[in-house]
């Protein structure tokens, strides 16, 4: 399992940069990390229970906290902070980013959902 050699939060760009000891380096957008959160809230408690998270185009990352020597917890500015991203999960999200993102966009379209947050009442 590849292990991160560097994890850098770039708040202004809303990305997490992760370099691994196998030489791979990924730039993971906050929105992508949020909609692919490994939390039960997003993934469900079993196969086929994954929730389609819409409206997160502008989500940012508040902080990244270490969890032992095997993971990080990411706190997003929409107050989601229950996902623990193990090194294997971060690496997989990087390797599979293009395919997962395309599948996410297709799922949104199929369900009539949007990456944009719903309009605020009275706006």
pTM: 0.94
pLDDT tens digits for range 42-55 = 998 888 888 999 99
Q: What is the DSSP letter of 46?
A: S
CB atoms within 10 A of CB 20: 20
What residues make up the domain containing 107? 4-111
How far CA 99 is from CA of 31, 87, 92, 106, 121, in Å, comes to 15, 19, 11, 11, 35
Please check whether residue 117 lies inside any domain of the structure.
Answer: no
The number of distinct structural domains making up the chain is 1
pLDDT tens digits for range 19-29 = 999 999 999 99
More confident residue, 98 or 121: 98
Contacts of 60 (CB under 8 A, 6+ apart): 11, 14, 30, 76, 77
90 band by pLDDT with thresholds 50, 70 and 90: very high
120 band by pLDDT with thresholds 50, 70 and 90: confident
Please check whether residue 116 lies inside any domain of the structure.
Answer: no
């Amino acid at each position: 399992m590849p292990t991160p050699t560097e994890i850098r939060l770039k708040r202004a760009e809303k990305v997490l940069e992760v370099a691994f000891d196998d030489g791979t380096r990924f730039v993971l957008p906050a929105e992508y990390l949020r909609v692919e959160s490994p939390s039960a809230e997003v993934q469900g408690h079993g196969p086929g229970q994954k929730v389609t998270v819409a409206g997160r185009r502008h989500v940012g990352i508040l902080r990244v906290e270490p969890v032992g020597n095997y993971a990080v917890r990411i706190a997003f500015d929409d107050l989601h902070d229950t996902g623990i991203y193990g090194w294997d999960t971060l690496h997989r999200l990087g390797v599979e980013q293009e395919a997962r993102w395309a599948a996410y966009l297709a799922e949104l379209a199929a369900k009539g959902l949007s990456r944009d947050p719903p309009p605020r009442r009275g706006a």
